[in-house]
Amino acid sequence: MDCQHVRWSMRMKHIAAVIVVTAVLLFTQTYTSARGAEHKIPQTVDMTPVAEEPAELYALSAVLMDGESGRVLYEKDGERPLANASTTKVLTCIVALENSLGDDYVQVSQNAASQPEVKLGLRKGEQYYLEDLLYSLMLKSHNDTAVAIAEHCGGSVEGFARMLNRKAKQIGCKDTYFITPNGLDAEDENGKHHTTAKDLALIMRYAVKNETFLHIAQTRDYTFSEITGKRTFSVHNANAFLDMRDGVLAGKTGYTSQAGYCYVCAWEKEGKTFIVSLLGCGWPNHKTYKWSDTKKLLEFGDYNYEYETYWKEPQTGKILVTDGVEDGQDIGTKIYLRGKCSVTAYDREKEVLLKKGETVTCKIEIPQKVSAPVLKGEKLGRIAYYLDGKLIDFYPVYAEKSVEKISFKWYTEKVFHDFFH
C-alpha cells in the first residue's frame, strides 16, 4: 500500500512537472511572438529624409534653375564671376550651329593644331566637316577642335570670342566674358575669361532648345574621318552623368587649374526641366564632387517643386470717367465704365513651377479713374501675376465701351432741353 502510494505520488509529481514546463514554454513562445510582432520593423520603409533645402554643397558657386521660365530656384553665390573651363564649349557649339552649316569644310590651322591637351590631334592643313568637329568638341572636350571651329566661324579666335560674348548678352547673361572658345584660362585688357553659375545655367537653358545640340550632347559614341579618309577617330561621351540618372538632356564638364571642376547639365522628369550649374566644385583629387552636388540639387528640385495653375478670375470693378458724358445723362451724374480682359482656355490652364507653400499674386493694375474721351477697346491697364515680387505674366485690360468728353455745346443743349421740357 505504501509502495503504491509512493508510485502514485511520483506519477502525480511527474504529471505536474510536465504541465508546468508546458505552460512555461507556451507562455514564453506567446510572449516572444507578441514582443516580436510589437517591435518588428517593416522592411520597405524609406527612412531617408528629403530636405527642404539642399545639403551643403562642395561648389563655390551653384545654381538650380527652372528650365522653362529661367527662374532661379536655388543658388549658392550664383552671381559670383569665376573661371568656367570647358563648360564654355556649350556656347561655342551653339554659336557654331547658328552661324555655319554642318557640312562646311573646316581647315585646320597651326594655331588649332598646337592647342594643349585634351586634344583630338588635328594636323595643320587637314580638313574636317564642321558637324564631326562638334561631336569631338562636346563628347571629348577637345581643345584643338574648339579653336578650329572658332577660326572657321569667326575668322579668328578673337572674332569668334566677340560672337560668343554678343550671344551671351542676347541670352540674358549679365557677367560673362569669354576669350577662348575652349575655356582655357585666359586674360586680356578687358579682364579674365569667366562667367557666373547663373549665366552658365541660362546658356544651357538656351542650348537645349536646339534639337541638333541635344542630339550631339546625348550621343554616346561617334566615329568620323578627316575629309580624305586617311585618318579615322572614335569619340566617347565623357559626360558620365548620362549613365547615372535617366532623363539627362545634356551636360558638359570642365576643369582647369583656376576653374577647378565645373559642370552644367539639363535634366527632365515628368514635364519638369531643371538646369544645374556648378563652378569651382573641388580640385584634384575631388573629381566626383560635381556628381554629388548635381544629385543633391536635382533631388531638391524634384521633391520640392511642382507645376500649378495660377489664373485667377479678376474683379476689375468700376472706373470713374471724369469729364465724361453719355446719352440721357443728367448734369452732375458720375460716369463709370468697366475694364474687359480677354483670355483663352489656354491662358486659364497656364502653369508655373512652385515650391510647396509658394503662391502667385494677382494684381489689378488699372487706375481708379480716367479722363474722357475714352474709346471702346482702349487699353486701361493690366492684370498682372507676380512670383517672389517678379512679373511672370500679364493680360491687358481694355475699355468695354466709349465715353465722350463733355462739352459746352452739350451743356447748353442739356439746359435748353430741361428748361423747355
With 0-12 / 13-18 / 19 or more C-beta atoms within 10 angstroms meaning exposed / middle / buried, residue 198 is buried
pLDDT of residue 22: 45
List all residues 6 or more positions away from 201 whose beta carbon is below 8 Å from its beta carbon. Answer: 63, 65, 72, 264, 275, 276, 277
Measured CA to CA, the distance from residue 146 to residue 135 in angstroms comes to: 11
For the annotated catalytic residues, the residue numbers are 86, 89, 141
pLDDT of residue 40: 33
pLDDT of residue 299: 95
pLDDT in tens, 133-173: 999 999 999 999 999 999 999 999 999 999 999 999 999 99
Q: How many CA atoms lie within 13 A of 189 on its CB side?
A: 1
pLDDT in tens, 57-83: 999 999 999 999 999 999 999 999 999
For range 32-53, the mean pLDDT? 40
Domain locations along the chain: 61-305, 318-420
pLDDT in tens, 244-262: 999 999 999 999 999 999 9
pLDDT of residue 196: 98
Q: Which CATH architecture has domain 318-420?
A: Sandwich (2.60)
Per CATH, the homologous superfamily of domain 61-305 is: DD-peptidase/beta-lactamase superfamily (3.40.710.10)
pLDDT of residue 416: 62
For range 375-387, the mean pLDDT? 94
